[in-house]
Structure 1
């Protein structure tokens, strides 16, 4: 469940928008009022709320209950600023968890050790402590579940929730993430048997359907499509993937690389229907989804349909904060400050300066959610002033359930621009390099060793000059990566 808005290789972003630096000081626990420097150097004072407000902890409020919120909470705790000060408002019934599991191990069949909560609460995805609901209680963090924020009053520094609660905030961090892009209701987007995956409740409903399904259609050839189709194979279901593009994951995969993955899926029994559009989803006499009707008139039978056609940033309560019209999301600077004093945005919902490529980006990925949360909170609570410097990173893991004949795990770092060199036969390894003006810009490895995966971010960050012709002559993935490693050593010697 990962993406960069629009395209991983969008070269022409907006000009960087960065307010003037501000000084944000640590707030003593005993102080009832504090002020925040705004982007235009004006100051705003917040006085602790009275009992008229529904939240008891009101110095810091995080809106959203996903990965970014969980990692932000951990950073508040690490700085001793959570107990009695932090409130998290979530639309979900669960404490923050590692969302990528929902389209991976959570969908494994019951006999193949599927992931379940509390096993993947944050922050286990990065090797940290498991933050169960009890953890939040022990840390003195107030959690408001199943009550999404529906509106904001910037002048009064208040939030309104779906249940009508009025919440006070001093500093607000927006971590609302994204919502799934849905098919319109008029073409069957809400039929029983049609599924979208953004939270545990969605995944639970899908698992119930998979247990009874015979014919599954997955709409979309991106991350969700690939991961869900692989899970359906584990259930031994008749599975078809439908998408309008010419090959899988066109935002990242080259046609030749995509073909290798498609061959693997095909060998596992998955059918591909590419380059087509969907007219509508059809229901049987009982109202349940029964078929996918293509624009060319073809009918694909299905009793379970999973839609994975992208996501939209969840910004509706916060449209007054300044939205980015090119990549979506809430516009922030390198410290994740919005244009409104005291309000920040992190994770999927933030449109931020991607420093190393000099453009504005919005990244839908767990790695960015974790890192942006930590950077934002550290900037808020300490003297840290250096801007966020993110290196794009994407990965996927599929066919990992017990009994699978082939487990797939690829990692990509950098930017997929320039000429392409692919080395390896995909049995099981392959490496793809992107080279622009002689510099190594991005690299993807399938089935790499821990040492090989560790090399990738260094290559993408340092962008060494590399001999493309020499790479093309490499006889193996190992040899190609050794050529790339040597280019780093040459660069360091210059």
Structure 2
């Protein structure tokens, strides 16, 4: 469940196919520049009896990864107890969302992930923040009550239940919502699923328990991860997408071909370059198939739609949006143009310092890091701007008894020419080289030491002899060549 976004319209209707964006985002001619003089922490003094949260100094809106990691950072600085309130549409304390399209979907006999096992911050090796953890730390949690309105001048929020919340500093961590098919083409039929939260995943599991034919719409992260999980249920599985190959935002055609062959070896079928006309319903209103633009119908009793996501700006448009990459515009400390209001995680459009452009990243690693950076900047004299290195990964076919477990990682920018090394048995590496400099690298099935090398390579962007790299006989040799380039530059 990840992407790095560009050119996303927030105000217009959803097209049938939401284009999968690329990590190579167009440079913004005038990146965000917000004066630091406007960003004092705002104070307030109002009768506590007037507000549902008794005037918490800090309020986080959102219940995902970013909120959980932000809460931990408040606790680490001794500023949570009696001062912090989290307002969420979720029924659960913040959790590691990637699990929902990976281990959570495994069959019951294959040790599926379940709460409280993946509450934040276990994804990065931290303490498991169960509901009791928030109580012990004095953090007020308002569940299943999303914010419906904000009054910037009065520093108040209104929730869907009518609660009025007062804030001194506000952190918007609302993430994204799944892009949906319109109802008029069957987007809301029984048996049609979208995966963004635990309730969505539970509903999908209920369908998989009795499914015979599953169609996954979309060839990105959601499509690949859900299809791999469906294989574990031993159901007929088909992936449909409009592009010519899987994961076009990142994979080269050659790399995609290797993953497609692996999926086919697991029994997954592909329908490429296809446009969808509508989803067909049976007499009982349950989905029975996916009708393509050419008139053909792919039978299905369960359909999972993974065609992207859009930032959940909700009532916060007045805070200031970025209409190029979507989301709420912030500076390198995650401050919006409104004093005392911040945005983090998927919903934040921030300056990507390493590549000198503004972007928006939908990934758990950025959610964690942006939360920590924002809160540290808010509570201390820390003024270093966020310096994020784009990072994406996926893990599939990891269920118990799987004949092949897959785990790839990518760091950097996928621009320029590519060099692919390895036969995918099990390793393969792809290097992106632009003007002689190595800009990005993807590695499948690497060792821990090899994976640890990737961010060093991508951040350093060493000059690499492309011809020499192309002659490498193995992934290990290719990485040694690149590592040697790092040492040469360090010695200069």
TM-score of Structure 1 vs Structure 2, range by shorter chain: over 0.9
Equivalents in 1 of 2:54, 2:260: separation in Å?
A: 53
**Match of residue 351 from structure 2:** 353
Give deviations 1:161-185, integer Å, cap 9, x for gaps: 0101111001000000000000000
**Of the candidates 4, 8, 12, which is equivalent to residue 27 of structure 2?**
12
Q: Secondary structure at the match of 2:44?
A: strand
Contact 2:46 2:55 in 1 (8 A): no
Q: Secondary structure at the match of 2:66?
A: helix
Equivalents in 2 of 1:488, 1:213: separation in Å?
A: 51
TM-score by length of 2: 0.96
Give deviations 1:301-324, integer Å, cap 9, x for gaps: 000000000000000210101111
Equivalents in 1 of 2:185, 2:388: separation in Å?
A: 40
**Match of residue 179 from structure 1:** 177
Q: Secondary structure at the match of 2:290?
A: strand
**Of the candidates 110, 113, 131, which is equivalent to residue 112 of structure 1?**
110
Offset, 1:14: 4.6
Contact 2:412 2:439 in 1 (8 A): yes
Give deviations 1:243-291, integer Å, cap 9, x for gaps: 0001000000000000000000001000000001100001001110001
TM-score by length of 1: 0.96
Offset, 1:10: 1.8
Equivalents in 2 of 1:180, 1:348: separation in Å?
A: 12
**Match of residue 25 from structure 1:** none
**Match of residue 10 from structure 2:** none
Equivalents in 1 of 2:261, 2:54: separation in Å?
A: 56
**Match of residue 50 from structure 1:** 48
**Match of residue 36 from structure 2:** 21
Equivalents in 2 of 1:336, 1:182: separation in Å?
A: 29
Contact 1:57 1:86 in 2 (8 A): no
The alpha-carbon distance between structure 1 residues 14 and 312, as it changes in their structure 2 partners (threshold 3 A), is farther
Equivalents in 1 of 2:329, 2:45: separation in Å?
A: 27
1:324 and 2:322 equivalent?
Answer: yes
Equivalents in 1 of 2:202, 2:29: separation in Å?
A: 40
Q: How does 1:418-457 map to 2 (within 5 A)?
A: 418-457=416-455
Q: Secondary structure at the match of 2:49?
A: coil
**Match of residue 122 from structure 1:** 120
Q: Secondary structure at the match of 2:202?
A: helix
Offset, 1:51: 1.2
Q: CA RMSD in A?
A: 1.0
Equivalents in 1 of 2:46, 2:332: separation in Å?
A: 29
1:206 and 2:204 equivalent?
Answer: yes
Q: How does 1:393-412 map to 2 (within 5 A)?
A: 393-412=391-410
Contact 1:2 1:365 in 2 (8 A): yes
Contact 2:438 2:458 in 1 (8 A): yes
**Of the candidates 269, 272, 275, which is equivalent to residue 274 of structure 1?**
272
4+ residue runs over 6 A deviation: none
Contact 1:48 1:59 in 2 (8 A): no
Unaligned runs of 5+ in 2: 6-20
Equivalents in 2 of 1:57, 1:428: separation in Å?
A: 56
Offset, 1:17: 1.2
Q: How does 1:83-98 map to 2 (within 5 A)?
A: 83-98=81-96
Contact 1:65 1:90 in 2 (8 A): yes
Give deviations 1:31-53, integer Å, cap 9, x for gaps: xxxxxxx25x8x85422552111
Equivalents in 2 of 1:187, 1:390: separation in Å?
A: 40
**Match of residue 309 from structure 1:** 307
1:195 and 2:193 equivalent?
Answer: yes
Contact 2:42 2:169 in 1 (8 A): no
Contact 2:42 2:168 in 1 (8 A): no
**Match of residue 32 from structure 1:** none
Give deviations 1:189-219, integer Å, cap 9, x for gaps: 0000000000000000000000000000000
Contact 2:178 2:310 in 1 (8 A): yes
The alpha-carbon distance between structure 1 residues 470 and 49, as it changes in their structure 2 partners (threshold 3 A), is farther
1:2 and 2:15 equivalent?
Answer: no
Equivalents in 1 of 2:72, 2:143: separation in Å?
A: 18
**Of the candidates 55, 59, 76, which is equivalent to residue 57 of structure 2?**
59
The alpha-carbon distance between structure 1 residues 387 and 184, as it changes in their structure 2 partners (threshold 3 A), is same
Contact 1:395 1:409 in 2 (8 A): yes
Q: Secondary structure at the match of 1:143?
A: strand
Q: Secondary structure at the match of 2:393?
A: strand
**Match of residue 166 from structure 1:** 164
Q: How many pairs align?
A: 477
**Match of residue 28 from structure 1:** none
Contact 2:333 2:373 in 1 (8 A): yes
Equivalents in 1 of 2:477, 2:47: separation in Å?
A: 63
Equivalents in 2 of 1:478, 1:15: separation in Å?
A: 41
Q: How does 1:249-264 map to 2 (within 5 A)?
A: 249-264=247-262
